[in-house]
Amino acid sequence: MGILDNQTFVTLNDGNKIPQFGMGVYMVAPGVVTEQAVSEALNLGYCHIDTAHAYQNERSVGKAIRESDVPRENIWVTSKLWPSEYGHGATAQAIDKMLKRLGTGYIDLLLLHQQFGDYNGAWGDMEDAVAAGKVRSIGISNFESSHLEDLCNNARIKPAVNQVECHPYYSQDDLLARMKPYGTIIESWYPLGHGDAGLLDEPLFAQLGKEYGKTSAQIILRWHIQKGNVIFPKSTNPKHIAENADIFDFALTDKEMAQIKTLDSGKRFFNMSLEDQEHNLGNWAPED
């Protein structure tokens, strides 16, 4: 029996079923490092990979998927468009280029990576890409300002997910309540606090880990699963890749979930102002 045989799926507001657990490849070097990490994960039963144009490793993700023994329809691939690709017409072209880079035939989930620029123009092209069968589900990332309601109220297809920073110190319960009218769920980035030692060393996680024979990282990831969050912790370490997946054979009690809730202090690990984020948008070279 594989460690991911009991993994869970979430039904999105468009009816598609997304694997609730996967692996992210932010800051993973393109080429052999990404290919090996993705292959390692797929061999263990992972069936969900989260990448982005801005991570510059889509080609490597696609290569590892094509070379794996896992049928394409059993793998969920998410990627993200950068604001320089937003706008009616420009986004349609950017989607076609992304499909070529990935080489996966279609994209399971396509996100607007940031809430800047002509996101409404981009969204229209993304809706058309769904109708054309190029993309199965569409969503947003880092929409936490009033741009969230602006986009949702203009959209024909409501965003399936909003991918945002989320972990026990920053649970995003308020954002989830705001998104309820649209049926949009949370995908957690920095699910392990980007590997922050302070979060991983919380005594409560060590105590619960001892009780269940799990590591602190596994307790945190299990908390996300029971909250209903979709997660894709990043790792290039084979030990961590296996450990992170081994969270489907135990459950935290309601009391333990409530204990973890007491850690929700609003602390974020990514603290760049919106102005600085917008200023830095051009800090990398988009690929063809």
Ligand X SMILES: NC(=O)c1ccc[n+]([C@@H]2O[C@H](COP(=O)([O-])OP(=O)(O)OC[C@H]3O[C@@H](n4cnc5c(N)ncnc54)[C@H](OP(=O)(O)O)[C@@H]3O)[C@@H](O)[C@H]2O)c1
Active-site positions read: 55
Query: With respect to ligand X, which residue has the nearer C-beta, 97 or 194?
Result: 194
**What's the min distance (Å) between Cβ of 47 and ligand X?**
15
Phi, psi of 3 (to 5 degrees): -65, -20
Shortest approach of ligand X to residue 16 CB, angstroms? 19
- Say if residues 24 and 232 touch (Cβ distance below 8 Å): yes
Q: Please tell me the distance from the alpha carbon of residue 157 to that of residue 202, in angstroms, as a whole number.
A: 40
Which of 27, 251 has the CB closer to ligand X?
Answer: 27
Tell me the closest approach of the beta carbon of residue 40 to ligand X, in angstroms. Answer: 11
Place of tokens 């880990």: 209
Element (H, E) at 141: strand 135-141
- The residues of the shown chain that bind ligand X, judged by CB under 6 A, are 24-26, 50, 113, 141-142, 163, 189-195, 200, 217, 232-237, 240, 243-244
Q: Are 159 and 151 in contact (CB under 8 A)?
A: yes
- Minimum Å distance from CB 270 to ligand X? 7
Cα→Cα distances 79→53, 61, 85, 249, Å: 7, 10, 13, 29
User: By C-beta, is 113 or 134 nearer to ligand X?
Assistant: 113
Q: In terms of CB distance, is 21 or 182 closer to ligand X?
A: 21
Distance of CA 49 to the CA centre of its chain: 8
Closest by CA to 253, choosing from 279, 229, 219, 280, is: 219
